[in-house]
Structure formats: structure tokens, C-alpha cells
Chains A and B, each alone.
Chain A
């Protein structure tokens, strides 16, 4: 009994060979059919199956199936070795005229449970470009890792990753939260779902809590300029969320979590193959709610982070029309309703802000996938996404509106991709596409929308046993913005079997957004006006004619009117992977990102009733550089320890020059404690706001097989980071306000019951209940109890 349990838990391969008579085989030949799946019974597509000694090769299809026909009878050794899974070997005997059937279940690699660096090979159903083979370093978080964390929303998963932080943007309002990666702010990180861009940002911030992690297959994180893959916006990196797809047997899942902050996370998922495995369908529905929380009870009531109710339904279906062609569709509909109260003061001077936001988010795609007899593979895709946000803040006592914004964004996109291997060690992937984007806003809109077209080619070349290279080139053209070419190059050199050197170079760009180009935005609270660069002169002239201008800085207006350039970046990553033994993996990577033409606001005029009038300018240069390292160690079976660390320096070269030259406000530092001034030195400059020098995380997971239990503890550290320039010399120095460095401790315990059908999970986030009023988005301790039941045939 015990032995049986151990075998099951360690997910040793299950193996069954059932001979199966077939008609048309004759002489000395036979065949073999089979399927490859993972430990949960899901198919693994794209796995290479080899029969030795004859070196017959086959690759599994989307259903995880493979076939060998007309092979000479006898004993073979079947081998398969797939990234993310343990190598698998077995003996097979092929009999005359029979087609043997074999089902292979692969045990996950110990390391695929890591949060730090995980690799897992799943054939592209969305994209012929293998994102995991991109030049820039890629981190993959598997479904298993997410499940162990017990996380509910995407932001929770990501903020536990090395070098990634989720940051509140105070200037963007209480709901502006975004991700920061290797020092790049949320504006520069593209968010994709199944390889397609998601839209809808708040002051440049993409709120990752919009995305539920239920029904996610894996998350791919690309650090560094990736415009070569995704075009504009992927200037600093990209996060691709891959939803669940494919099914080999009908199964379903029901899960419910409840706990602190009245958080409810309820999920229903189902998947099934149909029409003799030719088609598959996956459906899921998720409901999530939270009361929000208040990290600032000393100064206000209500919540600092919003309560909300989120509803998400999503589905995918694929159907194989013929042997070589498949159609697919995926759709996602998400709805958020949120109402947040923030109550300041008390008694007669009580001020209650009623802040509401409704978000609707739709993503739909249709694909047609065809493999030609020449080996050329093609995917044609249409993608549509629409995002609508309706936000308002009302002061309840006075009935006055503090702000209101209604905003809708629609993107249509068509893409045609090809992949072809002219020779065995070279894979070429290319594509052509175009998109049109429309945005409607109370304050601005662009007739006809923004058009763009793109084309790219990427090569994945295994030069020899030791060296492989990935290179690519992409051209993007925007209807009002001209073209841009982005190259990338990645190189892997296997110095020793245990040591690999990796290097990557790439460039990125980001066109100015609608807001920066066309919006004329009035902030009545702070009494300033921001004019989009395209409308600068026009708007100022109108205001001047209406007698509303007292001064225009003409030389700036001449320079900036209709002259806002795209932001650009250059990224370098280089490092080593060292695997001295089976249970130890060390990775060190240095990165350097240079950012040019960063867009910033600048004052160009003074008004009569509106005091300050701004537009946008390009700043010269800034950089993010640092080092990241990870260690994954498994001291004994079922115990995994991973440690990650990132050192980061982010500085603006313009600021550095101004300090060096003693320009204006930069020349001196005021010590707020004494009121005294002194000359500033370059060494006083701490770097950009919101960036920690040091970030680290430690994760320990243990699986106790006799009890079918797993437990994990995760500690993450975020070093101190700048909050605001308090002495007004325009850069962060030690007299400014910093958010204290802090540790957050998360833990989870899970037990499986009823032959693994039922799982009970207890999770504790932020166990030490660490909060800081300067981190309005970081909740205190959250305890949740979850039950998950899986329906499937044993």
C-alpha cells in the first residue's frame, strides 16, 4: 500500500502496452502508436520520441499522440527527453503486423516547480515563435508552481518573482498599480494573453489583478527589450499568460477559496476532447471578490486598495479539420465592478470619496493552423480585444466630482505566421501582420484610429554541438509614426556539459500613446493642463486668442510641437547556467538596459486661470543595470530550495549631468532636518523612484509523500526605495522619503485526499502582517482555506 502510494506520488511513469491487431501490415514490419501526457494526464505536444537503435523519430501532435508505421519488428529502446520533464526510457517489442499502443506519462522535472527559472516545452498552439526560445532570458512559471503558491490573481504570482515588483503609482490615483521588471516601469512591459497584446492602462499602469490565474497553463516572463518579438510597448520586456488548452480525457475541476478580507475565489473548469479526439474544448469561469484593505488606518477609514468583484469566463476550442489543418478559437470576457470608499477626517469635517470603477475586458481570437507536406507550418490569426473603463470619484458630503473618466480601447489584429526548417539544425519563423487601434475618451479621440503593420523573421540555429543562436529582425510601421526596425540576437555556448554561457542583445521601442499625443487633459484639483504634443501649438493659439495665456515659452513650443519621438531601448543580458550536479542549479545573469527618449512632462506656458500648462518632451537617456542570480537546490528527494537575488541601479543620465554641472535645482541638497543647504555630489543620487537596490526571495517546498502533503514557505525581501523627492532638488537623495526595506513571508500547506481528487489547501500571505502606509497596495496578513475537487476517470 505504502509502496503504491509512493509510486503514485512520485509520478513514476505509468506504462501500458496493449497489442492491437491491425490489418494492412505484412512481412517483417509492425508499428507503434502512443500518447504522451504529463502527470495530470494532459497531453504534451511537440515531444520527440526516438526508437533506438534505428533512430526512428516521431513528434507528438497537439493531442500528445505519435505514430511509427512500418518499422522492422524486434526490440527497441524508446527514449524521450523533454525540457521540463525527466528523461524517459523503456523497452518496446514490435510484433509482425501489429500496431502496439503505448501511453507514456512523464514525471515533471524537479526544477519545473521552481519559481525562479523553469523551462517547460509545450508546442506552440498560439504562436509559431517559441517565446521560450527568445533571445532575452525567459522565466516560466508553471501551473504547478502557481497552484502551490495558492495565488489568485496575476499580480500576486509575479511579485514573488526575483526582480519583479508590483508598485502603486501615487500620481495615477488610488487604482494605478503596475508591474516593474529589472527596473522598467509598467509602461514598458507588454502584457499578452496567449501571445496577443492586452490593452487598458491607467496612467501607463497595467493592473495585473485584472487577470485570474485559474485556468492558466503557464506564465512566460521575458526580461529585456523584446520589440523584436512583439513590437512597440515591449521595450522593457513582456509577460505572456498562456491559458489552458487541449484535452485528452474529459475532466473538470471545482474550487473554492475563502478567508481574510472576505476574499472569495471560486472556479469551475472543464475540458473534454470530442469527435474522436479531433477536437478539444476548455472552459472556465471564475468569480473573485475582496473587501479591499486599509494600510493607513491612522489617517483614514475605508480602504487604500479597492474592494472589487471580478467575473471572468474564458474558453478555448480546437478542431482538427484534416490531418494537417486545425482551426481554433479562444475567448475571454472579464468584468470588474468596484466601489471604494475613502473617508478622511471626522465629524463635521469628514470627507468621503466614493470611488467607483467598472471594467469590461474582452479578448477573442480565431486561428487556422496548417502544416504543408514540405514541412512548412502556417498559422493565420485574427484577434480582437476591447477594454472599457468607467471611473469616477465623487465627494459625498459636497456632491462634487473629483474626477471622472470613461475610456474605451479596441484593437483588431491580423497576423500570418510561417515556420520552416530548411535544414535540421535551423528553424525559421516569419510573420506579417497589421492592426488597427481605436480609443474613445471624453477628452480626445483620433478619427480612423491608429494603423500599424509589421513583419518579422527569426532564426533558431543550432550551429554545432556546443553553440546555438537565436536571431531576429522585426519591422513595425505606424500610420502616423513611421517605421522602426528592431533586431535581437541570443547566443548559448555550452562550455561544459554542466556550464552554459548565455548572451543576448536586443532593442525595443514604444511609440508615444494617445494621451501623450492627442489628449488635452485638465486637472482641476492641481490646476494644470497637459496638452498632447500633436495639438500643442494649435491649443495654445486657441487659448491665446481667448485671452487665457499670460506667457508662452516659445522656443520650447517650437521645439516640441508635433515632435514627440518614440522611446527606445537597448538591452544586454549575459550570464552563466551552472549545473554541477543533478540537484543543484546556479544561474547568474548581468543586465544593462539603456533607455533613450523617455517621455516626460515639461511646462511650456503659464495661463491666466489655469496656472501651469504642460506638454511632453523626450529626455536624453537613462539606464537600468544590475545583476541577478538564482540557486535551485534539492538536498534530498521532495525537498526544493530556491533562492533568487537582484541588484539594481537605475539612473537618469540627464539628472547625473545636471548634478555634475550644478544646473538649477540639482546643484544643491537641502537637509530637511536642519534646513541647511549643501552642494550636491553625484554620489548623492540614489536613482529613480520606486526602485530597490536589493531584492531577494527564498522558497522552500517540501512534499511528504506518505501523507500526500506539500508545504512551502516563501520569503521575499524588498530593499528600501524612494517614495518622493522631499527637498525638491528633483532627484532622490538621502534626505528624501524612502519606503523601508521589508520582508514578506508567505506559506502554504496542501493535502490531497480521495486518491488525489480532493485537495485542501491553507495559505497564509504576509504572515508577519507587515504593512506600511507608503505601500497602499500591500495588504496585511491574508489567510485562506481552499478546497479543490477534480473530476476525472481514474
Chain B
């Protein structure tokens, strides 16, 4: 009898840890939470060239495996360059703001006709971009014209270390792209207006952490704000 009692007491003791066993709360995993501020435009899961691949070198392809697309802020238009005619029609114009190029469309350019390796090289557009290591919502003013002029940011892609230009890291352990948090791009658009841009992810659904090597990509999520009055005020909160 005594034994039974102490057994129960012991059992109670043993069940104690259960009370502490942190049961996983259904945390709000909404990946879009906090991204919409009422002023900015949020683009979710814009499909890049999902059929593209780097192509097997054995097949002797010289053409890049991914079709380039352009993006225009004013009407959220995605413009595909599927062939030479498309390129001729669009590249050397000031009708686009961003070009998504390279593997997985992950290398982003603003429209700068004066720069040799810019997709818009030779065109009329005179965009410039400045990289800011600052949260998007804290970027209240566009940098000075001098900063834009001096900026050496051209291709915005893989940042090989944490200082390098680029909007994502790439983990050699997991082979997954890791978007850089709180990195914002201030842009002077072809029409002279100022804008800010945050590239959020290239993975479908914007998961907080990619847990699968084959998570579908490229699906771009990004947000931007264009100051329509031509001033440098980029305040969005």
C-alpha cells in the first residue's frame, strides 16, 4: 500500500517535466506579416523563368538557360525577353525599371544605359542605385545625388560575403539562397523619381527559412515605393 502511494507520488513528480515541455504554439508563421505598409507595393511570388535550367554543358549551349525579364514599377508590368525581337523592343528604352537576369533570374539590374554590362547598355535611361544596410521601413530619405553618382552598385545578386553588393547569400552547406535581411536599395528611376526597393526572396511562398533543397525557385517577392512628387522623401510608415 505504502509502495503504491509512493509510486503515485513519484509518477506525479515524473509528470512534472511534461508541464514544462514546451508545446509548440501555433506561431503565426505568416511570411507576409509586416511587409504591407499601405504605401509600398508588395509583389508576391512573381514567377521568373521556372522552366529554365543552367543547361548541361555537354549539349554545347551557349545561350543562357534563363530568359531575362524586365519589371516596371508604375504598372507592375513583367516584360519577358523571350527572343531577339523582345530584346530589341525593350532593352534600350526607359520603359523598364528592373531587369532580372542570370541564373534563376537572381541578378537584378536597374536601367542604366551608360554601364557596359547593364542590360540597358546603350539606351537612354540613367538610373542609379545605392545599397543601404538598413531596414526598408527606416529608409526615409533617398541618398544625395552625389551618393547616387558615386555608387558602384551595378549587378545586385549573390553577395559572396556580408559586405559585398548583393541581395542574397548562398550557403555552400545547404545550397540554398539566403536573402539578406534589412538591406534596402535606393533607386533613382529613369524618369528621375526616387524609389526604394527590398528584394525579399526568390523562393515560392516566402518561407522564413528554406528547408528543402528543391524548394521551387525563382519566384520573386519584393516591395518598393516610388515617391511620385519627385522629392527624396521615401517615408512609408
Interface residues of A (CB under 8 A from B): 170-174, 296, 298-300, 304, 342, 344-345, 349, 351, 353, 355, 393, 398, 400, 402-403, 522-527, 543, 546, 548, 601, 607, 609-611, 635-636, 639, 641, 664-665, 668, 670, 672-677, 689, 698, 700, 702, 713, 715, 723-729, 737, 740, 742-745, 767-774, 776
Is B57 a contact of A548 with CB atoms below 8 Å? Answer: yes
- Decide if A728 touches B169 in the complex (CB within 8 Å): yes
Q: Is the CB of A639 within 8 A of B10?
A: yes
In angstroms, Cα B53 to Cα A403, docked, is: 12
Q: Which of B134, B163, B170 has the most CB of A within 10 A?
A: B163
Ordered nearest first, which 6 A-B pairs have the shortest CB separation? A743-B21, A728-B169, A675-B133, A675-B182, A665-B161, A527-B54
Point out the residue from A524, A715, A724 that lies within 8 Å of B209, measured CB to CB: A724
The reply to whether B204 and A725 form a contact with Cβ atoms under 8 Å apart is: no
Nearest-neighbour CB distance to chain A for B52, whole angstroms, equals 10
Task: Give Cα distance in the complex from A251 to B180, angstroms.
Answer: 63
Tell me which residues across on chain B come within 8 A of A726, comparing CB atoms: 169, 178, 181
Q: Are B181 and A771 in contact (CB under 8 A)?
A: no
With a CB–CB cut-off of 8 A, which chain B residues contact A767?
18
Bound-state CA distance A676–B134 (Å) is: 8
Give the contacting residue for B162; candidates A304, A400, A670, A742; CB below 8 A. A670
CA distance A771 to B204 in the complex (A): 22
B219 contacts across to A, CB distance below 8 A: 345, 349
Q: Which of chain B's residues has its CB closest to A295's CB? A: B211
Q: Which residue of B lies closest to A611 (CB)?
A: B103
B211 touches which of A170, A677, A702 (Cβ 8 Å): A170
Q: Specify which chain B residues have a CB less than 8 angstroms from the CB of A345 in the assembled complex.
A: 45, 204-205, 216, 219
Q: What are 10 inter-chain pairs, A to B, with CB distance below 8 A?
A: A349-B204, A527-B54, A636-B3, A675-B132, A698-B14, A727-B169, A742-B24, A743-B22, A768-B23, A770-B23
Besides A299-B29, A344-B216, A675-B132, 14 new A-B residue pairs in contact (Cβ under 8 A), listed by A number: A296-B207, A342-B212, A349-B45, A543-B57, A670-B133, A672-B180, A673-B181, A702-B11, A715-B17, A743-B20, A745-B17, A745-B18, A767-B18, A770-B21
A346, closest chain B residue (CB): B205
Q: Which chain A residues lie closer than 8 Å to B134 at the CB level?
A: 675
Chain A residues positioned under 8 Å from B75 (CB to CB): none
**Distance of B58 from chain A, by nearest CB (Å):** 9
Residues of A within 8 A of B55 (CB): 524, 609
Q: Tell me which of B22, B180, B216 has the highest count of chain A C-beta atoms within 10 A of its own C-beta.
A: B216
Q: Check B214–A636 contact: CB distance below 8 A.
A: no
A725: which B residues are within 8 A, CB to CB? 169, 171, 173, 178
Contact yes or no, B204 A727, CB < 8 A: no
In the bound complex, what is the Cα–Cα distance between A740 and B182 (angstroms)?
Answer: 23
- Residue from the list B6, B57, B169, B211 in contact with A296, Cβ < 8 A: B211
Most buried by B among A715, A737, A767: A715
A363 to chain B, nearest CB (A): 30
Q: A524-B56, A724-B171 are in contact. Are A299 and B162 (CB under 8 A)?
A: no
Identity of the chain B residue whose Cβ is nearest the Cβ of A526 in the assembled complex:
B175
Closest chain-A Cβ to B48's Cβ sits at a distance in Å of 11
Residue of A171, A740, A742 touching B174 (CB-CB under 8 A): A171
Contact residue among B3, B23, B162 (Cβ-Cβ distance under 8 Å from A729): B162
Chain B, residues 70-104, CB within 8 Å of chain A (1/0): the string is 00000000000000000000000000000000010
B43 within 8 A of A: no
Question: How distant is the Cα of A239 from the Cα of B131 in the complex, in angstroms?
Answer: 52
> Does A349 lie within 8 Å of B47, measured CB to CB?
yes
How does the 8 Å CB contact mask read for B1-18 relative to A, with 1 for contact and 0 for none?
001001100110011011
Give the distance in Å from the alpha carbon of A171 to the alpha carbon of B204 in the complex. 18
Which residue of A523, A713, A769 contacts B23 across the interface (Cβ within 8 Å)? A769
Chain B interface (Cβ < 8 Å from any Cβ of A): 3, 6-7, 10-11, 14-15, 17-18, 20-24, 29, 31, 45, 47, 50-51, 53-57, 61-62, 103, 132-135, 159, 161-163, 169-176, 178, 180-183, 204-205, 207, 209, 211-216, 219
State A186–B177 Cα separation when bound (angstroms).
25
Contact A524 B53 (CB under 8 A): yes
Q: Which residues in B have their C-beta under 8 angstroms from that of A548?
A: 57
Residues of A within 8 A of B216 (CB): 344-345, 351
Supposing A298-B29, A349-B45, A526-B175 touch, asked if A344 and B215 sit within 8 A by C-beta, the answer is yes
B174, A170: Cβ atoms under 8 Å? yes
Given A724-B171, A728-B159, is A776 in contact with B211 using a C-beta cutoff of 8 Å?
Answer: yes
Q: Which residues of A contact B204 (CB under 8 A)?
A: 344-345, 349, 351
Q: Which residues of the partner chain B approach A349 to less than 8 Å between Cβ atoms?
A: 45, 47, 204, 219
Of B57, B134, B181, B212, most buried by chain A (CB within 10 Å of CB) is B212
- A659-B214 Cα distance, complex, nearest whole Å: 33
Out of A522, A523, A715, name the residue touching B18 (CB < 8 Å): A715
**Known contacts A672-B182, A675-B134, A676-B133: A400-B205 contact under CB 8 Å:** no
Asked if A668 and B162 sit within 8 Å, CB to CB, the answer is: yes
Q: In the complex, A166 Cα to B24 Cα: how many Å?
A: 20
CB distance from A304 to the nearest CB of B (A): 7
B24 nearest CB neighbor, chain A only? A770
**Residues of chain A with a CB closer than 8 A to B133's CB:** 670, 675-677
Partner among A299, A641, A674, A702 whose Cβ is within 8 Å of the Cβ of B205:
A299
CB distance from B6 to the nearest CB of A (A): 7
Given A173-B213, A342-B214, A672-B181: A768 touches B10 (CB 8 Å cut-off): no
B22 touches A770 (CB 8 A): yes
Whether the pair B176, A609 counts as a contact (CB closer than 8 A) is: no
Residue of A nearest to B136 (CB): A675
CB A302 to nearest CB in B, in angstroms, measures 10
Please report the C-alpha to C-alpha distance between residue A737 and residue B171 in the assembled complex, in whole angstroms: 13
A672 vs B31: C-alpha distance when bound (angstroms): 17
Distance of A713 Cα from B11 Cα, bound (Å): 9
A665 cross-chain contacts in B, Cβ below 8 A: 161-162
* A26 CB to nearest B CB, Å: 55
Please name all residues of chain A whose beta carbon is closer than 8 Å to the beta carbon of B11 when the two chains form the complex: 700, 702
Q: Indicate if the CB atoms of A745 and B21 lie closer than 8 Å.
A: yes
Give min CB distance, B171 to chain A, whole Å.
6
Closest to B177 in A: A526
Contact (A702, B61) CB under 8 Å given A170-B213, A351-B216, A524-B56: no
| Chain A: minimal CB distance from B100 (Å) | 16
Known: A715-B17, A770-B23. A522 touches B45 (CB 8 A): no
Bound-state CA distance A601–B237 (Å) is 45
